[in-house]
Structure formats: C-alpha cells, structure tokens
Amino acid sequence: MDVANSVVLRHDQTRRTDRFEAASQLEGFPPAAAKFCAERALFGDIIGPAPRNRLNFLELREATDRYFRARVSGDSDDQLLADLLDALARTLRGANGTNGLDAATAHSVLRLIAMPDPERMKICRNCGWLFIDRSKNRSRAWCDMAVCGNRAKASRHYRRRKEEEAP
C-alpha cells in the first residue's frame, strides 16, 4: 500500500508527484518506510528493487493502484486483476531473492488481494491515498488523522468562517 501511495495526489494532474521518479529514490524508500510507514514492520530488512527489475516494479505499482482503487470503488474487474497478476509474475521473476522491495511488494499485494476483510481498504477523502482502516468501528475516512483528518477539518472550518463573513 505504501508503495502504491508513492504517487502523491495521483488524482490531480497538475500537482501529482511521483516519489520514485529517480532510481535513487527507490533505494532510499525502504529505510525511510521502515521508520515512517503505517506498515513499517514489513520493511525491516528490505533493500531497493533489483535495478533490472525497476520497470516491472513500477508497472506492478500502477497495476496495484488501478486494481485496488477499482475494488474499493465497488467496480472490481477481473481484467484489472489479470493485469495485476501479470505484473506480479513479471516482478517476482525479475527479483533477486525475497528481501528486495520488488519481491516484498509482490508478496504484500498477494496478501491484500486475499485479505479477509476487503471492506477495510479505503481511499482517503483528502489526499486520495489507499489505506487500511483498522479502527474498531471501521469509520476512518482519512489515511492519517494527524495529517489529512486535520487538514479536512481545517478547510471545513475555513469555509464556514468565509460563509459567515460573506455579506
């Protein structure tokens, strides 16, 4: 999920940023993710993807995002699933062992495909990231309350103030 989210503001053509644009960013991602990501425990001994596998890995990222985004929106599609499985197979074939980000991502995607409670996967209302809602009552609307939750609250507050001030 954290890999799929390496494209920030994916839905916004003018502001979207690809954190994996440069190969060096791919190398730096696992150590950073091991510190900051929600699923940080998964990144313990992970290193960057095998250089010859970078393209496969980036295709896997895109296929992952397309498939899960469609599934969360309620229009899961076997064609998108087939594309994702193709990308998974290519990535696994090109990986060097199991501790590369490429193989680790592929295994993580397989777990997500088969997750027992797929309704817990959601799209953040503020930034568009995919996230897993682990709250008890499954009511989270934002990937991160401290970041997107507060931002959404602040902009609601701002709009209300504007309306009050308007003549």
- Give residues in contact with Zn ion (CB under 5 A): 124, 126-127, 129, 143, 148
Cα angle for residues 159, 163, 164 (degrees, 5° grid): 115
Question: Is 92 or 123 the residue whose CB approaches Zn ion more closely?
Answer: 123
Q: Which of 88, 93, 101 is nearest to 42 (CA)?
A: 101
**In whole angstroms, how close is the CB of 5 to Zn ion at the nearest point?**
9
Q: How far is the CB of 146 from Zn ion (least distance, A)?
A: 10
Complex with Zn ion: residue 47 or 147, whichever CB lies closer: 147
Residue nearer to Zn ion on the CB measure, 1 or 127: 127
**Quick check: helix, strand or coil at residue 125?**
coil
Q: In the bound complex, what is the minimum distance in angstroms from residue 141's beta carbon to Zn ion?
A: 9
Question: Least Å distance between CB 125 and Zn ion?
Answer: 7
DSSP 126: T
**Minimum separation from the CB atom of position 109 to Zn ion (A):** 20
DSSP letters, 84-98, are HHHHHHHHHHH-SSS
Comparison of 29 and 129: residue with beta carbon closer to Zn ion: 129
If you write DSSP's letter for every residue of 30-91 in order, what string do you get?
HHHHHHHSTTGGGGTT-BPPPGGGHHHHHHHHHHHHHHHHHHHTT---HHHHHHHHHHHHHH
Contacts of 83 (CB under 8 A, 6+ apart): 63, 66, 67
Of 1 and 124, CB closest to Zn ion: 124
